[in-house]
């Protein structure tokens, strides 16, 4: 079957954006609901950040609020990774589940990696508040980078399995397919998610959509060339090779909800 690159790029890009924005929003809701549970005041949630007053809450409560977001991201990564490992069908839904796992892991390990350099970031705030020595933070940052590298590469086989058996077994077709499935959507997706992160309270908030997503590149070589067992392949490839209006509908809904959150939800 001929690979319709344009359709695959569009479908994968929309799923990239949906999963990225959804994972980020759930991350922020982790902060938001924890702020409510510890009885913080002047709480608000926006499209890519939450805020609350530190007046009247303990230092440990502030730490708990900060760490909850990354922990929600880790749960997303592990949960969707587990779901993917149990799924047998390779279709559009499966690609969405894979992207959710990817962005869940990025939302946790990404903050861990930059923690020594961002004392106001989620994990950085926790480390500095608890008095971690800089050398401990750097070691944890390096371990986080190594863990993210292996996790991204372990998920790459699921991207490969989005192709048909014929595509995966043909080197030229496989490279062409992975380029359309991963690389072009990554570039376009980073641009779109960066725009959807605007406005930002501080410029460092753009690190996640730009640098975090680039970690997907560390698995590109394996996705293009590594021999994977062909236990599961996309038997619905013909559907994936066409533009999908359902994905487009969720894509528009994601953008609308993201833009509405710019105005914020306020408590207290």
Cβ atoms of residues 120 and 62 within 8 Å:
no
**d(C-alpha 251, C-alpha 17), whole Å:** 7
pLDDT digits (tens, 9 = 90+) for 148-193: 999 999 999 999 999 999 999 999 999 999 999 999 999 999 999 9
CA atoms 84, 165, 93, 227: torsion sign: positive
- Report which of 201, 245, 192 is spatially closest to residue 20, judged by C-alpha positions: 192
Cα–chain-centroid distance for residue 51? 22
Reported as a single tens digit per residue, the pLDDT across 235-262 is 989 989 999 999 999 999 999 999 999 9
- Report, as an integer, the average pLDDT of 74-98: 97
Dihedrals phi, psi of 94, to nearest 5 degrees: -65, -40
Answer with the residue of higher pLDDT: 2 or 48.
48
**How far apart are the C-alpha atoms of 37 and 192, rounded to whole Å?**
33
Question: Is 268 part of any domain?
Answer: no
Residue 259 lies in a domain: no
User: Which domain covers residue 206, as residue numbers?
Assistant: 5-253
Whole-number pLDDT of residue 142:
97
pLDDT digits (tens, 9 = 90+) for 133-155: 999 999 999 999 999 999 999 99
- Is 9 a residue whose pLDDT tops 80? yes
Beta bridge partners of 51: 44
At residue 1, the pLDDT reads: 61
pLDDT at residue 205 greater than cutoff 80: no
Instruction: Give the three-state DSSP class for 210.
Output: helix
Instruction: For the chain, give the mean pLDDT.
Output: 94
User: At residue 73, does pLDDT exceed 90?
Assistant: yes
Structural domains counted in the chain? 1
* Rounded alpha-carbon distances, angstroms, from residue 137 to 49, 120, 142, 149, 258: 24, 14, 9, 18, 33
């Amino acid at each position: 079957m001929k690979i319709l690159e344009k359709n695959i790029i569009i479908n994968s890009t929309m799923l990239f954006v949906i999963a990225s924005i959804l994972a980020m929003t759930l991350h922020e809701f982790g902060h938001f609901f924890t702020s409510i549970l510890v009885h913080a005041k002047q709480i608000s949630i926006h499209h890519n950040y939450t805020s609350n007053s530190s007046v009247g809450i303990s230092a440990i409560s502030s730490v708990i609020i900060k760490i909850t977001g990354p922990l929600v991201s880790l749960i997303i990564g592990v949960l969707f990774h587990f779901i993917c490992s149990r799924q047998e069908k390779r279709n559009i839904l499966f690609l969405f589940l894979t992207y959710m796992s990817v962005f869940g892991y990025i939302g946790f390990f990404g903050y861990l990696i930059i923690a020594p350099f961002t004392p106001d970031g989620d994990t950085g705030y926790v480390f500095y508040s608890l008095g971690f020595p800089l050398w401990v933070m750097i070691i944890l940052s390096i371990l986080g980078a190594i863990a993210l590298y292996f996790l991204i590469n372990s998920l790459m086989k699921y991207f490969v399995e989005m192709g048909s058996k014929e595509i995966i077994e043909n080197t030229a077709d496989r490279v062409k397919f992975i380029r359309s499935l991963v690389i072009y959507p990554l570039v376009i997706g980073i641009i779109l998610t960066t725009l959807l992160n605007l406005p930002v309270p501080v410029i460092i908030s753009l690190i996640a959509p730009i640098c975090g997503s680039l970690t997907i590149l560390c698995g590109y070589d394996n996705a293009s060339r590594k021999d994977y067992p062909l236990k599961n392949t996309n038997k619905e490839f013909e559907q994936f090779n066409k533009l999908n209006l359902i994905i487009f509908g969720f894509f528009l809904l994601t953008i609308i909800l993201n833009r509405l959150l710019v105005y914020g939800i306020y408590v207290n």
